[in-house]
Amino acid sequence: MKEQGQLPAMGGLLLDLDGTLYHGTRRIEGADRLIRFLKERELPYRFVTNNSSATPEAVADRLIAMGIEAAASDVCTSAQGAAGHIAQLKPNASVFVVGEAGLRQAVEEAGLRLTEEEPDFVLQGIDRGLTYERLAAAVRHIHNGAKYVLTNPDLLLPTENGLMPGAGSIGAMLKAAGGQEPILIGKPSPILMDYSLDKLGLSADQTWVVGDNLATDIAAGRASGCGTVLVLTGLTTADNFESYADKAGCKPDAICANLDELISYISGSTGR
């Protein structure tokens, strides 16, 4: 474990998922122990994901299937963050969705109205059933005055069959054709982090963000004023750390090689 500086005691955590607690359908060593430890210590936490396609219930079921304790109420998705942000900007707004089930559910649960014509907002996430006609409709709505909201900037989506275009790739098309810079919700934007902090019930200076990606997890944590812990369990490794840190333009407050080391670090930090 490497620590950049002393930080206040941890009051709660925002935990990344892919690359931090699991790889695809495989649990990362120690992920189950980490969640049990947090429950035993009564440290509040939320799982925070840029995934906009899955409902919180589906995310929780996926974790449970890997032997990691979870409930839908523990999950904060970019879809929820996006719908919540739109509801703050304009309650009962009408929304044209380019996305999947998780995004549509989040819109309805936020008290927003799904529509196909004259929307107040175009809300776009990953859409693996995207058609040219739907893309054209979204562009038309943006040119007619709808505000454009993007759930997350991820250009690529890792799958068991290799990399596929992510929400950010679709967003690149919409931005180019629509001529409007989107409101970005997911990491590294602080909007999803602020939504998650609200659900956690803690302020940023009481909360630490844990993740494997400097450009998303750590950058979002720092932008929100949280403490940050990088775990070398996914994208970032000891070998590529300096290169990725230069590209991201930020460094974490602490680095843990694995999740058992993270448990030890949390134990020491909460005892300060």
Q: Which residues are catalytic?
A: 16, 18
Strands 12-15 and 207-211: parallel
Which DSSP letter does residue 97 get? E
Is the link from the previous residue into 188 a cis peptide, with omega within 30 of 0?
A: yes
- Amino acid identity, position 168: G
Residue 90 CA to residue 85 CA, distance in Å, equals 9
Nearest to 106 by CA among 149, 55, 63: 55
* Residue pair 209/203 in contact by the 8 Å Cβ criterion: no
Angle between helices 78-89 and 190-200 in degrees, nearest 10: 90
* Residue pair 173/187 in contact by the 8 Å Cβ criterion: no
* Residue pair 49/79 in contact by the 8 Å Cβ criterion: no
Query: Which residue matches tokens 């979870």?
Result: 70
> CB-hemisphere CA count at 13 Å for 5?
7
Quick check: helix, strand or coil at residue 256? strand
